[in-house]
C-alpha cells in the first residue's frame, strides 16, 4: 500500500464520515477513552470535517460526562479489520447539554432511542439485572409526551481531534503516520 500523507488524511476523513453515516461501517462503533483510563464502545453519530469534531450521544449524568465536563482529554480508537487500518485519535472532549446542535440531535433521535435517557442514573446499583428503564418503558416505543422528561438527561460528547495516529497492518511491513488535524504537520513514523 503506497499512499501519500495527504491521501491518508483524506481517507481518514472519508472513513470518519462513513462511520457516522453507516451502521455497516467499521468506524461506526469506536472505543472512546477518557482521562481516567476508562473505555467504552460508543456509536459515532456525526463527523464535522472542517473542525475534525466527532459527535456521540451520552447521558449527562454518566461518570464520563462528569469527568469531561467543559473540556478534558479524550481518545477514540477505530479499527477497520477489512482495510487493516487502526486509527488512534486524540483530542479534547466536551459535554454539551444545551444549544442548537443538542436540540437537533434530540429531534433526530427516535422515541425508542430517547427512552434510554428515562432510566436510572448510569452506574446505579441494583439487586437484579436491569436496563434501568421504568417498567412501562421496557420494549415499547414511547410517545413524545412520555419521553419528554428524558431530554434533561440527554447530552452530546463532542471530541475535537488534534492528532490521528494511523497504522496500516501488512505482512509485507506495517506503515504508520501521525497527522495533526484539522490542518498541520503529518509525518511517517516507524510502527
Three cell numbers, residue 97: 447539554
Whole-number pLDDT of residue 2: 61
Instruction: Provide the whole-model pTM.
Output: 0.94
Give the CATH number for residue 108: 2.30.110.10
Domains of the chain: total: 1
For residues 156 and 25, give the distance between their C-alpha atoms in angstroms, rounded to a whole number.
21
Neighbours of 87 (CB within 10 A): 23
Mean of the pLDDT values across residues 142-146?
95
Closest CA to 116 of 102, 134, 98: 134
Cβ(3)–Cβ(84) under 8 Å? no
DSSP codes, 48-80: ETTTTEEEEEEETTSHHHHHHTT-EEEEEEEEE
Q: How many angstroms separate the Cα of 3 from the Cα of each of 10, 89, 170, 186?
A: 11, 20, 14, 13
For residues 186 and 22, give the distance between their C-alpha atoms in angstroms, rounded to a whole number.
28
Q: Above 60 in pLDDT, residue 1?
A: no
How does pLDDT run across 86-135, given as a tens digit for each residue? 999 999 999 999 999 999 999 999 999 999 999 999 999 999 999 999 98
How does pLDDT run across 8-58, given as a tens digit for each residue? 999 999 999 999 999 999 999 999 999 999 999 999 999 999 999 999 999
Whole-number pLDDT of residue 183: 79
- 110 contact partners, CB below 8 Å, separation of at least 6: 141
Average pLDDT score over the chain: 95
Three cell numbers, residue 177: 503516520
pLDDT category, 139, cuts 50, 70, 90? confident
Which DSSP category does 42 fall into? -
Percentage above 90 pLDDT, the chain:
93
For residues 89 and 27, give the distance between their C-alpha atoms in angstroms, rounded to a whole number.
12
What residue numbers bound the domain in which 30 lies? 5-121+130-189
Whole-number pLDDT of residue 105: 98
Amino acid at each position: 500500500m503506497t499512499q501519500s500523507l495527504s491521501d491518508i488524511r483524506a481517507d481518514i476523513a472519508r472513513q470518519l464520515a462513513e462511520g457516522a453515516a453507516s451502521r455497516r461501517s467499521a468506524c461506526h462503533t469506536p472505543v472512546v477513552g477518557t482521562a481516567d483510563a476508562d473505555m467504552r464502545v460508543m456509536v459515532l453519530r456525526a463527523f464535522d470535517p472542517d473542525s475534525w469534531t466527532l459527535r456521540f450521544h451520552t447521558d449527562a449524568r454518566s461518570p464520563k460526562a462528569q469527568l469531561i465536563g467543559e473540556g478534558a482529554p479524550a481518545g477514540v480508537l477505530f479499527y477497520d479489520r477489512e482495510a487493516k487500518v487502526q486509527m488512534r485519535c486524540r483530542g479534547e472532549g466536551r459535554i454539551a447539554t444545551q444549544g442548537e446542535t443538542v436540540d437537533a440531535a434530540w429531534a433526530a433521535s427516535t422515541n425508542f432511542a430517547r427512552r434510554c435517557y428515562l432510566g436510572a442514573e448510569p452506574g446505579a446499583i441494583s439487586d437484579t439485572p436491569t436496563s434501568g428503564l421504568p417498567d412501562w418503558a421496557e420494549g415499547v416505543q414511547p410517545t413524545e409526551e412520555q419521553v419528554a422528561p428524558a431530554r434533561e438527561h440527554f447530552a452530546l460528547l463532542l471530541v475535537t481531534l488534534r492528532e490521528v495516529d494511523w497504522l496500516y497492518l501488512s505482512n509485507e511491513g506495517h506503515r504508520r503516520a501521525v497527522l495533526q488535524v484539522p490542518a498541520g504537520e503529518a509525518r511517517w513514523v516507524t510502527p
